[in-house]
Structure formats: structure tokens, C-alpha cells
Structure 1
């Protein structure tokens, strides 16, 4: 049976709750990368800028003239609106217009607007842009303090306080946006994990159907077709016994399959793959007897001592032996003779299953089924090789796995 991954453990998933998690996020490079505004925040920003533009235009209309202050205000608001689409461009525009306003008009209002804009810069731009914005704000505050009296007493502290609040607000917004992105990514990861677990469960069910029920039903079908042609009563009894035993095994496999699907234990017999307990020698002997009972003279040659291979490699060889014998019964019922051999060579162990059949056997049915495809995958995990193909008088399945020094099953 294929190994399954454990279900995702919610306790292991990272969380954003707690100061330690926030500190980890603040130190993460991804957190400080340039990011776009949330669609809702983008809409609110555009609406707010629209209201400010309407107010600025209203003042200009009421005064009867459009001054350079009004022009700078409109340009500044347009730059703020650009944060909805291009934060970097918007930050450059805002810093440039604010610098022009402070230097050429000496207006403290431009400093205040630049301080407030720090919230958008902190929420969307890269760290170097945030630092540039803060440094520029400090330079302009120093400039206007030393060159004019546009700021009232204590005005510097007010602008610095507003800038700090704006920066913290921008970082808070970045935290909220990053948390939402994290939750979306986590939800996507969990969905993929659940899909993978579902696929693995489907694979387990398919393997159970193939390894157990399909094999037993193949025996039932083979002997049911052969029963009317049996030459004597003894052969008929062998077929009847095989049909009965195979039907019972299939029923046990179904019960095991239902138990696996419900994740509960049943009192029925275990699934088919455990019938030979993963021992290829036991499987070869039993499968040889099955072929003989089916009227196919079969030669079985197995070593008397343990095999120097890993349990995974032995399970793979067992699957290949089962698959080969099942294909003989299913696709080559007129087989004249068969052989199952396990050869312990220097540095490797080889399983050979071959048959002699007078009829043409569909190559596709024997070489591209689910069982052989999966067996090839399993044996490749143990650095082994499986070859299945036609010979001059039948078919041969040859699987080779490397021996493991000092390891005997």
C-alpha cells in the first residue's frame, strides 16, 4: 500500500497572534516589499482625493482666481491618488511637490501634508522610499524653521507627532494587508494538502481494488470458464474450491476496503497485500500452486535461505509476482507452462516469471496496466529495474533489485 502523508496539523501552522509573531513579520523581507493598496482602500483613497479636489476647486472658484497654491494643491492630490495604482511614482510626486511648496512658498501646510502622506508611503513603498520620505520631511522642517516663521511655536513638534502617527498607521495597514495575504496563502496551502490527501486515499483504494479484489475475481473467472471443460471430478473440485476460496478472499478484501474508507476496524480478514506478508518466497510458492490448480504446469524455484534485500524491495518483488501471475490467468488462459524463479546472484536478487503460450497475447494489456506501472515505480524506489516483454514463445517478467550487504530477510 502506498504511504500516506499525515493530515495537516493546525497546531503547526504559523499564526499571527501575539507579539512574537508580529516581531517575526516585521523582520521578514517579504513584509517590507512594495505592495499595492487593498481594493477597498484604493476606492476609499480615490473618493477622499476626489472630495479634497472638489474643496480645492471650490475655494479657487469662490476667490475668483487660480493661484500657484491652488495648482500645487491639485498636483499634490493627484500624486496622492496615484498611490492607488503606482505607489513608487506617487511617492516621488508627493515628495517633489511638497519640496517645491515648502521652498518656494514657505507654507507649513505643505509640511503637514507631507507628514500625513507618510502613512501611504509606509503602507505601500519599499523601506528605502520610507527612509527617503522621512529624511526629506526632517530636512524641510529644519529649513522652514530656520528660514521663516511659518510654523507657530511648537509647530515642529506637532508635525513630527503627526508624522510618527502617520508612519505607525501605515505600518498597521501593512500588517493587516500582510495578514490577509498570509491567510489566503495558508488557505491555499491547506486546500492543496487536502487535495493531495484525497488523491492518496483514492490511490490507496485503487491499489486495494487492484491488488486484492481484481486478482481474486480473475481466479474466479478463470476457473468458472474452465469448470465445464474439466476432464474429471477431481479437477472440477479443485476449480470449485478455488472459486470458493477466491470469492471469500474478495469478500474479505471488500470488507478491508470499506474499513479503510471508514477508518474503522472490522472483524473480516485482512486485505490481499498482507496475504503473503510481503514475502516474495511465500508469494512465489503460493502463486505457483495457484497456476498448477488452474491446470498450468508450473516450475517454482526459490532459495532456501533469506534474501539479502530490504523489506521495500521484497514487497515490490511480491507485487510483481502477483501482477505477472494475474496477467497470465487473465490474458493468457491457454498457457502451456509457466515458471517462477527467484535467483540470488552476487550483488542482486532477480525475480523471473515467464510463460509459454501458443496464442497471441495483447502486449498492451500486459505491459501498460496500472499494476505494472505502479510496480515499476515501487521497484525504482529500491534502485531496481523491471522488464516485461514478449519472448519467442510467450512472455517474461524480469525484476532485479540490488542486494544489501549484511541484510537478510
Structure 2
């Protein structure tokens, strides 16, 4: 999974600003119903705090009271801009609150907004500015009952509580967003793996059928003087394999369409899958196409029948033999092929295919090695081992071992 994760776009791992309520590049974001409720609550909170402090202005000079009232109204109205300019609102209101009491409500809302909407490297200094401005406020306008020290302690408690609350809200939003993104990525990974599985099935099935078509067509091309019966038999084989290829392709495309439209409604049904018992039919089909194939099974451990092999295990073994025979037809069509399947419960199932590396002077069927790569992935996913390559005796050897639980 770590290798696949590298292909995920990087923007998924960055917390988008729109999640926190402010637009990118300073652009405003259209508020949702929830945003309107929160903004109204913040506005009312700022107004309530401003009204509570207004009761303490009795006995103050008329000019100061007027200044307090105007500042309180403007600062409360500025709360509506907190999503667009949270830092500016917090700093301006905090500086004003260092002397003016009615700006304190907007200052508290601004600090909370910055703690929610900005990372700690920005919100931390803003909180520090709030703490610093408590000193001139306590000195210039001390409370008769609490005094300068009591006012400072109370202010520190309020700043710490509001700031901590904002940090908790931000952390929760980040967690929820992260879980949602992980769910999206997991769903996309599942879709990609499903497409890879379907592509592997298409390759395994169609490569076999098309190689059979090429083999029969090559026989007709290089033996135009063959008896009419042989020509009719080859043409019939071409027709049958073309029909089977179209049928297999229709089934796989049907599964692909179902996987694209089903969503989370349920598991995607698999097309009919072969088992180990179908190997004999595969070998016989290749023999009828002119290949020289010998097939030997040595199943032990109280399970002598091919039909008793677990379906998943038999399907993987079938695909290994199918791809090996397809490659033999591509690269050494006239060479004899030996297929051996052995093993048992607890011991594991071993599939071995060998054929001489004969030179082929005709037109070679193109191949990119995707089949062997797909087989390696398929066998490793099943918990087995897979190897192939030329041997010193001149044969090409392919071997797969698959675990078989007793």
C-alpha cells in the first residue's frame, strides 16, 4: 500500500482552508446553514459581553462612554468579517480591548476564531498578544474589587479557556476531515484494485483465446494446400475461439460496468471462474490446436481428486498453466510442453511447466511480459512463490507454489 499511496495527489494531505470556513486567497466562502447559525451565535456572544461591560461605565467621563459605545458597536459588527479576516479582527479588537472595555467581546470572539481557523504558529502569537494587553488594561482601568492583579488573573483564565476551546474544535475538525479523506482514498484504492483484477482476468482469458486464433490462422496461412477436412477443422476452431473470446469479453465488461455503477450497494459478482478440474479441458483444447502437451497430476494427502482442491487455489493454478501454455504458443509453438501439478493439503500445490526453447521462424505473436507480471502478483497475493526463466539444459521453466491449508 505504501507504493500505491505515492500516486495519491498531494492536495489530499493538506487541510483545505474551505474546511475551516475561509476561502483560498482571501476569497469569501458562501456560508452554509450551520455557518450562519455559528456566526449569529458569535455575534450575539460579542454583543452580550459588550452589554455586560457597559454596565461598568457608570461614573466614567462622557467622552469615554461615547467612545466605548461607538467602539463596541463597530467591533460587534466586525464579527461578521471573522471568516474572511480572522487574524486582523483578533489583533485590532485585542489592541482596542487593552483600554476599551466594550471591545472585549469582539476580542474574545476573534481569539476563538483564530484558534479554530489558523494553525498554532499563527494563533499562538495572537493569544500571546491577548495576554500582553491584559497588563495595560489592569493598570489603566483596574477593578475596585479585584484590583490589577485580580483582573490579570481573570483575564489569563478567560484567554486560556477560549484559546484551548478553539484548539480543541480545530483538532476535532482535522480528525473528522482526515477520517473522511482516508475513507475516500480507501474507496479509490478498492476501485483501482478491482480494475486491476478485472484487467488481469481480461488478459488471462483473452490472451489464451487470441493465441489460439493466431495458431489456427498461422496453420492456414502456411499450409494452403492442406486437406479440406483440416482447413474446415481449423476454421471451425477459429470460429469457436472467436465466439468464446467475445463471450468472455462480454462477461468481463459486464462485471466492469457493474463495479462502476454498483457503488457501495454490494459486492461485485465475479464471472464464472475455472477450477483445477478444468485443466484437463484446457490441455485437451491445446492438443486439438496442434500443441504437444503432456499433463500429469500427483495429488496426495487424502485428496486425490482434482475437484476436491479449494476453488481459489484451483483457479490460481489454472491461470498459471493457462498463461504458461499461451506463452509456449507464442514463443515455441512446435515444442512439446510438460505440465505437472503435484502436492496436497499442508504440503502446498506445485505447478510446473517446461518446454524446450525451440527457435520459431514464423511470425511471432507479440507480447510485453504483462502476463508473467500478473501471474507473479496473483501468486504472491495467494501467499505463494513464483519463478520462471531459462535452464541450463535449454528448457524454459515456470514454477509456482501455492499454500494449501490442511
State the match for 1:395 in structure 2.
Answer: 396
> Do the aligned residues in 2 keep the contact of 1:323 with 1:372 (CA within 8 Å)?
yes
Matched residue pairs, number?
294
Query: Comparing both chains, which one has the higher relative contact order based on Cα–Cα distances under 8 Å and sequence gaps of 6 or more?
Result: 1
- For residues 255 and 350 of structure 1, what CA distance do their matches in structure 2 show? 32
TM-score normalized with structure 1 length: 0.57
State the Cα distance separating 1:222 from its structure 2 match. Answer: 1.5
Q: CA RMSD in A?
A: 4.6
Report whether the alignment pairs 1:278 with 2:267: no
Partners of 1:348 and 1:52 in 2: CA distance: 74
Does the 8 Å CA contact 2:295/2:338 hold for their aligned counterparts?
yes
Aligned equivalent of 2:57: none
Distance of aligned partners of 1:91 and 1:186 in 2 relative to their CA distance in 1, 3 Å threshold: same
Shift of 1:97: 5.6
Question: Does the CA contact (< 8 Å) of 1:350 and 1:400 recur in 2?
Answer: yes
Q: How does 1:5-404 map to 2 (within 5 A)?
A: 43-47=85-89, 49-50=91-92, 53=95, 85-92=121-128, 94-95=130-131, 98=134, 102=138, 105=139, 107-108=141-142, 141=146, 173-174=166-167, 177-178=170-171, 180-230=173-223, 231-263=226-258, 274=273, 277-279=274-276, 281-283=277-279, 285-303=280-298, 305-306=304-305, 310-333=310-333, 335-344=334-343, 347-359=347-359, 369-391=369-391, 392-404=393-405
Instruction: State the Cα deviation string for residues 54-86 of structure 1 (Å, max 9, x = none).
Output: 8989x9xxxxxxxxxxxxxxxx99xx8998754
**CA–CA distance in structure 2, aligned partners of residues 402 and 185 of structure 1:** 38
CA offset at residue 53 of structure 1? Answer: 5.0
Name the CA shift for 1:367/1:232 in 2 (closer, same or farther; >3 Å).
Answer: closer
Conserved? CA contact 1:379–1:401, under 8 Å: yes
Q: 1:10 maps to which residue?
A: none
SS in 2 for 1:108: coil
Task: Give distance in 2, aligned partners of 1:163 and 1:219.
Answer: 83
Cα offsets for 1:265-318 (capped at 9, x unmatched): 9xxxx98862xx322x431x2232233222222222124723686443322211
CA contact (8 A) 2:348 2:402 kept: yes
Distance, in Å, in 2 between the alignment partners of 1:166 and 1:55 is 13
Question: TM-score by structure 2 length?
Answer: 0.57
In structure 2, list runs of 5 or more residues that go unmatched. 1-80, 101-106, 262-268
**Structure 1 spans left out of the alignment, 5+ residues:** 1-38, 60-75, 112-139, 146-150
Q: CA, structure 1 residues 343+172, in 2 after alignment: closer, same or farther (shift >3 Å)?
A: closer
